[in-house]
Amino acid sequence: MDDMNLREIPFEKETIFDGRILRVEKWQVTCPNGQSAPREIVVHKGAAAVVPVYEDGTTLLVRQHRVSVDRVTLEIPAGKLDSWGEDPYDCAVRELEEETGLRAESFTLLTSVLTTPGFCTEKIAIYLAQGLTQGETHPDEDEFLGLVRMPLDEAIDLVMRGEIRDGKTICGLLMAKEVIARQKEQA
């Protein structure tokens, strides 16, 4: 079956909830067989995340409590886009500095992840930041963070042991390791 024969076409959208971070909509779609079906969609502005990697091969991760899962997580620095249409690169630069105090000479786009495409429009652009210099952190008023610096390989080990469970962090760390390995091969 080709892709066009799989496509669902929305024909009606109703806002159920409109919040500060996201909007929930009920969509009616026409399925490939011509039947209509309801879909509940979380509409999200998107986000950006950064894997900062120092010259010595270490990375800097953020520890914070995530109330939705009631656990302290270890994640790459990240944040939501401030507005519809904001360039994810600008968000990545801002979030890296706010959360870690770091500035980077170079940012390499690793990927843009669809976090939960079954019901959410959120996309997270994930960058590798290199050529790091330290400045002051300035997290948001309601943001309480701890910073953990460790070898990138150790962070990958935490992923492989299931101790890091955040999707963007898993993807970012694994991709950063591969990109850095390729950079070394080309040098």
Over the stretch 28-57, which tens digit does the pLDDT of each residue have?
A: 999 999 999 999 999 999 999 999 999 999
Check residue 35 and give its pLDDT: 97
Per-residue model confidence as pLDDT tens digits over 9-33: 999 999 999 999 899 999 999 999 9
Check residue 1 and give its pLDDT: 57
Nearest partner of 45 among 77, 15, 88, judged by Cα = 88
For β-strands 47-52 and 123-134, DSSP reports them as parallel
Contacts of 182 (CB under 8 A, 6+ apart): none
Q: Is the pLDDT of residue 65 over 90?
A: yes
Q: Average pLDDT in the 174-180 region?
A: 98
Per-residue model confidence as pLDDT tens digits over 78-97: 999 999 999 999 999 999 99
Check residue 139 and give its pLDDT: 74
Catalytic residue among 55, 105, 141, 185: 141
Per-residue model confidence as pLDDT tens digits over 104-162: 999 999 999 999 999 999 999 999 999 999 988 887 788 789 999 999 999 999 999 99
Residue appearing with tokens 């024909």: 11
Check residue 77 and give its pLDDT: 97
Q: Is 141 a catalytic residue?
A: yes
Q: How confident is the model at residue 103 (pLDDT cuts 50, 70, 90)?
A: very high
- Its pTM stands at 0.93
Contact between residue 126 and residue 176 where contact means Cβ atoms under 8 Å apart: no
Indicate the domain borders of the chain. Answer: 3-44, 47-186
Check residue 93 and give its pLDDT: 98
Pick one of 3.40.50.10380, 1.20.1250.20, 3.30.70.260, 3.90.79.10 as the CATH number of 47-186: 3.90.79.10
Check residue 120 and give its pLDDT: 97
